[in-house]
Amino acid sequence: MANRLEFQSANFAREFEALLASKREADDDVHDAVTAIIGDVRGRGDAALLSLTAKFDHLDVANVADLAVSKGEMNAALDGLDKDLRAALELAADRIHSFHEKQLPQDFAYQDQAGIELGMRYTPVDAVGLYVPGGKAAYPSSVLMNAIPALVAGVGRRVMVVPARDGVTNPMVLAAAALAGVTEVWRIGGAQAVAALAYGTQTLAHVDKIVGPGNAFVAAAKRQVFGQVGIDSIAGPSEILVVADAQNDPAWIAADLLSQAEHDEAAQSILITDDAGFANEVALAVNHMLPKLERADVAVRSWEDNGAIITVPSMDDMPALANRIAAEHLELALKNAAGWSKKIRHAGAIFLGRYTPEAIGDYVAGPNHVLPTARTARFSSGLGVTDFMKRTTTVGCDVEGFAAIAPSGVALADAEGLGAHALSMRLRMKR
């Protein structure tokens, strides 16, 4: 049974803090093992990739080139899809592409009052690595969400790595890669794939940034290679906060909560409602649905260990709690959801109204489903086009513009004790 918290209870503050502080990530200490794997790939390159892939994925090939997936294989996977499934994947891709096109930033340039030319321009990274898990489940939707923003940003080389245990690669994943314009696909995974992307091998060229979720080994590897390459984030277990009043169908809300619980035993689903009777109805609906789920064993663990139902006396008490939770996904199943959303500062994505379940955002709405977890929505955002771009500023001074601001620059350089800085400006002031 999920935790039940009553806002008006004397213990609420303590119980709510415990909910926020709960550690849901695995405690696996894989740092040393990952360090060894990265060192092996850096030292031996292709040979390390081959031996590690044989060891962990039971895929034994003669050359790293044999781990590459051909364009023909990707296109064949796309062509082999059921007609309706392909149409659904294409609809999702089109909507994701359209939404992310609108994120493209605009360069700007202007001349200020001193006559100095100032500007900023955006350019894509040259190459990005897209990590796709190949463990408990395969997620072609995540291929679209990671690859399409990179395509829209103008990244020239978009490299996908995916573990292929016993040589088997999910055809839906390959189909999504073809549809999203991935330029290379490699059957490698784990920390060794991250290391190869970061440092390169004799056959697989390095990239500039690595995005995408993975297991504890992948997360640790991304942490360790950060600085050599950029990374998106370290993704934690999925989470959802549903805010719902008694005007909702309890079964709808129960299903929304379970849509995240079925992801992972460590996922978290929370309901906030202002009606105790409705809270009970949702809890009953969850218990009714759980045994019928395909991933019931996972969802039961998640709901019982990490789930929570919070009852507040008024929805006016909700925004402060929601902002503290800073959920990855926030559903506002309320009348005037747009109005309530203006009171929310911290959430990865907000889903407005009774007909906008979080699940629609996972697939076909258009905004990215790669979102900040573990309360990091307080300071970070979901994956987007600008994650694959850099900002470069430009400054241009003529004689008059330089003369107008250089004396202040000299004064500041002198104050900081940086004589060469001051000298480089003083010399030009004498002309």
- Among residues 97, 100, 263, 329, the one annotated as catalytic is 329
Contact 155, 123 (CB under 8 A): no
Q: How far apart are CA 80 and CA 76, in angstroms?
A: 6
* CA 247 to the chain's CA centroid: 33
Which residue, among 297, 261, 267, has the nearest Cα to 282 in the 3D structure?
261
Reduced DSSP (H G I as helix, E B as strand, rest coil) percent helix, strand, coil of the chain, to 5:
50, 15, 35
Indicate which residue of 265, 328, 331, 358 is catalytic: 328
CA-only gyration radius of the chain, Å: 25
Contact 124, 95 (CB under 8 A): no
Q: Could you give phi then psi for residue 48, rounded to 5 degrees?
A: -65, -45
CA 261 – CA 163 distance, rounded (Å): 24
- Give me the residues paired with residue 389 across strands: 124
Is 31 an annotated catalytic residue?
no
In this structure, what are the phi and psi dihedrals at residue 95, rounded to the nearest 5 degrees?
-70, -40
Longest C-alpha distance within the chain, in Å? Answer: 84
Q: Is 328 a catalytic residue?
A: yes
Per-residue tokens: 352: 């407005």
Spatial separation of the C-alpha atoms in residues 364 and 152, rounded to whole Å: 17
Identify any residues that bridge with 271 across adjacent strands, giving them in sequence order: 242, 309
Angle, nearest 10°, between helix axes 31-44 and 190-199? 50
DSSP SS3 for 197 = helix
Q: Which residues pair with 230 in a beta bridge?
A: 209
Task: Retrieve residue 276's tokens.
Answer: 């105790």
Q: What residues act catalytically?
A: 328-329
